[in-house]
Amino acid sequence: MEWSWDHAYAVLPQLLKGLVITIEATIVASLIAYILGLAIAILKMSKSKTTRVSLYWMTEFIRRTPILVQLYVVFYVLPDFGIFLEAFTCGVIVLGVHFSTYTSEVFRAGIDNVSKGQWEAAKSLNYNPYQAWKYVILPQAIPPMIPPLANYLITMFKETPLLAFITVVELFRAADQYSNSYYTYLEPMTLVGLFFLLVSIPSAMIAMKLEKKFKPIKVAR
Amino acid sequence: MNEVLAFYPMLIDGTIVTIQLTIIGAIVALVISFIVGLSRISPYKSIRVAAIIYLEFFRGSSALVQMFFIYFVLPMWGIYFDAITAGVIACGCNVGAYGSEAVRGAVLAVDKDQHEASKALNYSNYEKYRYVIIPQAIPIMIPTFGNLLIELMKLTAVCSLITITDLTFVAQIIRVQTALTLEPFLVILVVYFIIASILVKIVDLIAKKFSKGRNVMTAGDK
């Protein structure tokens, strides 16, 4: 089958609209993943063993099951309980919660990475816990976390096409709709692939620059 | 719940398909990881560049898009794959790209002295990698491979979208036939979790076996 520029030009406006939705979904999902991930990391340091163990198994359950199935669960099951969410909202919540289990490991490793002596130093300076976090711990903990967190942002971007299957018209579904009406998969799918490469390869390069700059922590995934 | 469990023959078939996809995908991914990962440290520039192009291509775009490309677009150029093959190729090539980084990282993590020692023993390049470098690199790779195996298993759920009757596809059939939503998905979530947990245990055992008697450097020490 021949490549047709007519199809390529015709599908482009829809794809750009889809790309905007994809990027919006990535940003919202990553915010959820970062905030929830930090919360999980802090809760996992809790003194209560029940909290730690139950959190461990909850996060492991989320990590060991496919995002696609989790999307179906939230999208199809919540309405049965009288909770009606837009498809986009369902999608970003699932993506965000799924990746929060990964980012929590980054936060935990980042905080563990600050040596014990720093806490003692903060204490000897008579800092209260707020001052210790603000002036001593976080400034040392955050920079090494940035590269792995940036990498998860790119990973989330690449998972967004799954939202297409709960009816979110993002990049992939925009192409799929065009394909179904004009019976050509070649141009729309190729362009979608190109769009993904065009966004994620430069982002990966930026992430690599960050790695050189910040000396990232090694995270056991 | 009983209505869903009445579909158990289908659920078992779906589980088998998911496990098959995981195992075959893992073999493809493992082979690709080593080929691409070792190509990255080849002395020939053309081989290194080819490996980088492969890596950036499969790591840079979404696995779902790759799968649809293989299953729906390639036939337009006269290249036909059945659904299972397309799914395995997409999963294997995608995870293989990530695995190649693990191979490269582990091989580079082997101490420089080991290269010098092989030279002192007058080993050829092949003998050096075969008997000295790679045996020491494998224990370093295993934890990353374990994580990738779980990612691969999760990726097989996406194969349901190109008409493969794996667990996720079976759950959709049950959902449509029984009009139940929570139960079928709950059942397959548990099955996925069990499969993943067994895989984690197996990888732990392999890691123990390979690190026996060795002072294994973990990623954290590097």
Under a CB-based contact definition with an 8 Å cutoff, are residues A11 and A188 in contact?
yes
Question: Would you state the torsion angle of the CA atoms of residues A33, A36, A38, A39, taken in this order, to the nearest 10 degrees?
Answer: -170
**pLDDT, position B192:** 95
Quick check: A108 pLDDT over 60?
Answer: yes
Euclidean distance between CA atoms B31 and B97, whole angstroms: 11
Q: Do B186 and A73 count as a contact with CB atoms less than 8 A apart?
A: yes
Residue B26 has pLDDT above 80, yes or no: yes
* A72 located within any domain: yes
Indicate the helix (H) or strand (E) that contains A203.
helix A186-214
Stretch B164-177: mean pLDDT: 91
Residue of B nearest to A76 (CA): B181
Instruction: Respond yes or no on whether ipTM tops 0.90.
Output: no
Residue A210 lies in a domain: yes
H helix or E strand, kind and range, residue B104: helix B83-109
> Is B222–A218 a contact, with Cβ atoms under 8 angstroms apart?
yes
Are B168 and A161 within 8 A, CB to CB? no
pLDDT in tens, B176-208: 998 888 889 999 999 999 999 999 999 999 988
User: Distance between CA atoms of A31 and B221, rounded to whole angstroms?
Assistant: 31
**What pLDDT score does A28 carry?**
95
pTM attached to this predicted model: 0.88
Tell me the CATH number at A44. 1.10.3720.10
Give the count of domains, chain A. Answer: 1
The pLDDT assigned to A218 comes to 67
Long-range CB contacts for residues B5-13, cutoff 8 Å, separation at least 24: B5/B187, B7/B170, B7/B173, B7/B174, B7/B177, B7/B184, B10/B170, B10/B173, B10/B174, B11/B167, B11/B170, B11/B174, B11/B187, B11/B188, B11/B191, B13/B165, B13/B170
Can you read off the two tokens belonging to residue B211? 């690190």
Mean pLDDT across chain B: 89
- Look at residue A221 and tell me if it is in a domain: no
* Encoded tokens for A77: 């099951």
> Chain A residue closest to B152 (CA)?
A66
Distance from CA of B118 to the nearest CA of A (A): 30
CB within 8 Å: B154 and A179: no
Tell me whether A72 touches chain B (CB under 8 Å).
yes
**Nearest CA-CA distance, residue B150 and chain A, Å:** 7
List pLDDT tens digits, range B74-121.
888 888 899 999 999 999 999 999 999 999 999 998 888 998 999 899
Kindly give, in sequence order, each residue whose CB lies less than 8 Å from that of residue B175, ignoring residues fewer than 6 positions away: A76, B181, B184, B185
Say if the Cβ atoms of A165 and B161 lie within 8 Å: yes
Determine the residue of chain B that is closest to A216 in CA distance.
B220
Cβ atoms of B155 and B98 within 8 Å: the answer is no
Q: Is B35 exposed, middle or buried (0-12, 13-18, 19+ CB in 10 A)?
A: middle
The domains of chain B, with CATH numbers, are 2-221 (1.10.3720.10)
Q: Are A170 and A161 in contact (CB under 8 A)?
A: yes
Which pLDDT does position B222 carry in this prediction? 39
Domain that holds residue A123: 5-214
The pLDDT, as a whole number, for residue A97 is 96
A155 shares contact with chain B (CB less than 8 Å): no
User: CB burial class (10 A; 0-12, 13-18, 19+) of residue B101?
Assistant: middle
**pLDDT given at position A1:** 65
Whether B72 sits inside 8 A of A179 (CB atoms) is: yes
